[in-house]
Amino acid sequence: MAGNTFGKLFRITTFGESHGPALGVVIDGCPAGLKLSEADIQPYMDRRKPGQNQKTTARKEDDKIEILSGVFDGVTTGTPIAMIVRNSDQHSKDYSDIAHVFRPGHADYGFFQKYGLRDYRGGGRSSGRETLARVAGGAVAAKILSEIGITVDAEVTELAGIDVTTEAGREAADAKILELKSEQDSAGGVVTCFVNNMPTGIGEPVFDKLDANLAKAVMSIGAVKAVEIGDGAKVSKMRGSENNDGFEAVAIQVAPEEDDQENEDIEHEPTLQEINKFRTMNGLDALDEEEYEEMLANGEFDGTEEVFQVTSNHAGGILGGMSDGAEIVLRAYFKPTPSIARPQKTANEEGDNVTISIKGRHDPTVVERANVVVECMVAITILDALLENMGCRMDNLREIYPED
């Protein structure tokens, strides 16, 4: 099977099946020197793990992450990081009745035609359980991004066709999901992901556009059927004057040190690190120590920096395949869980038309557990693009490899 690896410089390779002994991930390209332990990754795994409420599968898995390599004394070594989660609550017998039946809405038929055989126990590699390996890899990517101030957050914004951004909406959706569950049916929904503090100019202008790679990353999640960036499909109905995001130059306050924040009367002299954080986030060249000292001596810093920002965000933070400094906004549209107990018509491998009722323990909706999967795939894509961007300019190389 090809296609189990994602990313260029920061790469994840996932392995394992839903009803096998374990699932896992191998990460290539993680920089050395990152403080990392299972405690950094487990909260992400817990957000995805099954059996947490009535709206998820009854399958009980602890999903405890184990780091096997690439970390020594709590710090990454730069070598491949291997992690696994051991399966403990498989009920493979639940699938014996459908071992030779093509389940509606599943990948069974495609697997059978492609390979001539298939793992019918929970779908094997096509199971949603495969995504736990992505989450483990994405948790590491998110940790690295947090070290440079970039945040990636995803939330469920629609469930069973109901807006769940309000308390009333969440209550209505919960009731709808339980109603569908009692009817042996399921529901889909929408996850919205936000990336903040993103530097400008990340992504490649042609085939490796940032939005194209984000769409690929999120569309690779089994239950996702559509992805939108910014206003998405709505822009096809807009005028250019409505859709265009303008730019403006603004003076922004450079953040003071934490100690200075307690007393606004203390005169603050921006540090080189503070200045460069704002400059790189807004597409300006970073200063070296000599330039910084010269500007300080000339009194050119008054605690503010002039930067450029968009006046609207219809593009969702990406223009021309590159980040524009605004918040990146992405929406992932999930189909209803295809594994339902309601009788459905289909066919078997022998060519007989049959009716099946899928047994087993399945989510009436995968959306609430999948938001962290979206978050992690976005984090991996963003980090990979940042690493790739480091070689796009000579001043970047000079900063990393200064002349002796």
Average pLDDT over residues 60-83: 94
pLDDT at 269 over 70: no
Output 249 or 313, whichever has higher pLDDT. Answer: 313
pLDDT of residue 237: 97
pLDDT of residue 266: 38
pLDDT of residue 180: 94
Average pLDDT over residues 19-23: 89
Least confident of 46-60, 74-88, 137-151, 297-311: 46-60
pLDDT of residue 257: 46
Out of 3.40.50.10860, 2.40.30.160, 3.90.1570.10, 3.60.150.10, select the CATH number for domain 92-239+313-389: 3.60.150.10
pLDDT of residue 302: 62
Output 103 or 125, whichever has higher pLDDT. Answer: 103
The rounded distance, in Å, linking the Cα atoms of 178 and 84 is 33
- For residues 334 and 370, is the Cβ–Cβ distance under 8 A? yes
pLDDT at 313 over 70: yes
pLDDT of residue 290: 84
pLDDT of residue 94: 60
3-state secondary structure (DSSP) of residue 351 = coil
pLDDT digits (tens, 9 = 90+) for 315-326: 999 999 999 999
Residue 272 binned pLDDT confidence (cut-offs 50, 70, 90): confident
pLDDT at 362 over 90: no
Neighbour count for residue 134 (Cβ, 10 Å): 23
pLDDT at 34 over 80: yes
pLDDT of residue 92: 58
Classify residue 222 by burial, with Cβ atoms within 10 Å: 0-12, 13-18, 19+.
buried
Average pLDDT over residues 181-203: 95
**Average pLDDT taken over every residue of the chain:** 88
pLDDT digits (tens, 9 = 90+) for 341-356: 899 999 999 999 999 9
pLDDT of residue 288: 79
Enumerate the domain spans of the chain: 92-239+313-389, 247-309
- For residues 377 and 138, is the Cβ–Cβ distance under 8 A? yes
pLDDT at 265 over 50: no
Output 192 or 288, whichever has higher pLDDT. Answer: 192
The rounded distance, in Å, linking the Cα atoms of 49 and 152 is 20
Most confident of 216-225, 352-361, 392-401: 216-225
Neighbour count for residue 40 (Cβ, 10 Å): 18
Alpha helices in 81-229 (DSSP H): 108-115, 131-147, 167-182, 210-219
Q: What is the CA radius of gyration of the chain?
A: 24
pLDDT of residue 261: 46
Q: pTM value?
A: 0.87
Question: Starting at the edge strand that comes first in sequence, how are the strands of the sheet with 11-16 ordered?
Answer: 5-6, 11-16, 22-28, 81-86, 66-67
